[in-house]
Amino acid sequence: FRNATSSRPAVLFRSERHQLVEVSWSELQQKVGSVAQALKAMGVKSGDRVVAYMPNIPETLIAFLACASIGATWSSCSPDFGTNSVIDRFKQIEPKVLFAVDGYQYGGKAYDRRPIIAELQQSLPTLEKTVVVPYLFQDEQPDSESLRDAVSWQELLRQPSELVFEQVPFDHPLWVLYSSGTTGLPKAIVHGQGGILLEHMKNISLEMDLKPEDRFFWFTTTGWMMWNLLIGGLLVGATVLQYDGSPAYPDIGTLWKFAEDTGMTFFGTSAAYIASCMKAGIEPGKTYDLSKLRAMGSTGSPLPPEGFQWIYDHVKRDLWLASVSGGTDVCSAFVGGSILLPVYAGELQCRSLGAKVEAFDEQGRPLIDEMGELVITEPMPSMPIYFWNDPEGKRYQESYFEMYPGIWRHGDWIMITNRGSAVIYGRSDSTINRQGIRMGSSEIYRIVEGIPEVLDSLIVGVELPG
């Protein structure tokens, strides 16, 4: 809260069901203090785990900041996750407190999550308290008969608002993120407070060039690492913009209208969303007032050259477009953008600051202008401090350091060009090799999604017997 000010809001929020809501810095600090005091009263201590089954709303941000202030370790899943997916993640880390919304709306349809909260309580034996946040059923109280040890969000806000920051070591666990879990239980990836703070300050202030007057948005859920990066906008005093709902409801222009109404300066999204806008044939630059918009970010999958061209043709000419690529593993980017460099269609402008990125061949030799394995040859501040329930570090070593001893192999195909930019081709463990020619998912997507009759597509790698 060192950047707190009365001249700009801390948060602007909208959802399918809610008009634009403004949260001031003083309101944010007061509510964080109250929730922190309430957690302490529940017996939550430094190092205890607090989990959230919550959407991208201000209450989730408040709960996270309260946890961080008392040294508790945070973890979140979006409420669109099914019961088993949530249990597979949360049960590993033995949480003491659960924050959960009663339900949510997506694409115009309401989803009651109270039955799932009850299932989570039954399956998470270490839970001592459940905080129910009224969101879908705002006029109703939590069903205390079916939800054991449940308290309402309003009860937490009645606590004194004094905010005291617990002093913790540099590598104290801040949060737990999760791998996709495609080959078993999701890996519980633990990041330290100091490393993440350094990495995100670098990302936000130096690479994204965010300033206090910026209004920073990334379309994300709480189940994606981009939510963790989004809320980092507060580190530089920028206003964080939160949206909850379908980006295509009531139409594909919803987020562009949000940009207009909030005076958005940085619009972060996924390559898939940009492709959807292209297919829909919309022209945001003509339809909406995007005069404040100065930058866009794209991640999640490689943005093809056509996506770059569409943004400059149909969104805004004088715009900085940063295509970035990283991973949940480091909650950051390995390669991305710079306001000091030219933008080339289909390319990521440069290696991220402090990321010693190379493209390696099978013998561990660096390549230029050739596709190779994306590796990190020197430590980064936000590399995981450990995996949960991996006391000997065996899974950690197997995940990153097995192919090239002592060197982080991330599992993506990358080409570093002779001018220092990069091209990402997709996962190296899902690449087709035909007559010695490697084809990544990005090349297949580019062809398939260029067919007018194809509305959407998903490339899945399948190993056939024999």
272 and 407 in a single domain? The answer is yes
Residues 59 and 150 in one domain: yes
| Range of lowest pLDDT (80-89, 145-154, 209-218) | 145-154
Integer angstrom CA distances of residue 15 from 12, 18, 107, 242, 371 = 11, 5, 11, 8, 42
Judge whether 462 lies within some domain: no
Note whether 59 and 117 are same-domain residues: yes
Residues 131 and 220 in one domain: no
The CATH number assigned to the domain holding 108 equals 3.40.50.12780
In a domain, 16, yes or no: no
pLDDT band at 434 (very low <50, low <70, confident <90, very high): very low
User: pLDDT-derived band of residue 437, with 50, 70 and 90 as boundaries?
Assistant: very low
Cα separation, 135 vs 146, in Å, equals: 18
Residue 5 lies in a domain: no
Burial of 38: CB neighbours in 10 Å, binned 0-12, 13-18, 19+:
buried
Tokens 């939510």 locate to 227
Instruction: Select from 422, 419, 414 the least CA-distant residue to 361.
Output: 414
Q: Alpha carbon of 249 to those of 78, 163, 257, 453: distances in Å?
A: 18, 39, 12, 22
pLDDT of residue 439: 53
How many structural domains are present in the chain?
2
pLDDT per residue as tens digits for the range 19-69: 999 999 999 999 999 999 999 999 999 999 999 999 999 999 999 999 999
Choosing from 148, 167, 191, the residue where a domain stops is: 191
Question: Domain ends where: 191, 210, 237?
Answer: 191
* 199 and 91 in a common domain: no
Residue at 8 is within a domain: no
Residue 465 lies in a domain: no
Does residue 216 belong to any structural domain of this protein? yes
Same domain, 320 and 405: yes
Same domain, 223 and 149: no
Q: Is residue 29 in a domain?
A: yes
Residues 65 and 117 in one domain: yes
Same domain membership, residue 260 and residue 175 = no
End-to-end CA distance of the chain: 59
278 plus 348 within the same structural domain: yes
Residues 127-145, mean pLDDT to the nearest whole number: 79
2, part of any domain: no
Are 320 and 273 in the same domain? yes
Q: What is the pLDDT of residues 250-261, one digit of tens each?
A: 999 999 999 999
Q: Is 325 exposed, middle or buried (0-12, 13-18, 19+ CB in 10 A)?
A: buried
User: pLDDT tens across 314-326, in order?
Assistant: 999 999 999 999 9
CA dihedral sign of residues 455, 336, 381, 372? positive
The residue from 130, 156, 191 where one domain ends is 191
Same-domain status, 239 and 200? yes
Across the chain, mean pLDDT equals 93
Does the pLDDT of residue 431 top 90, yes or no?
A: no
Domain ranges, residue 379: 193-448
Which of 145, 122, 171, 163 shows the shortest CA–CA distance to 26? 163
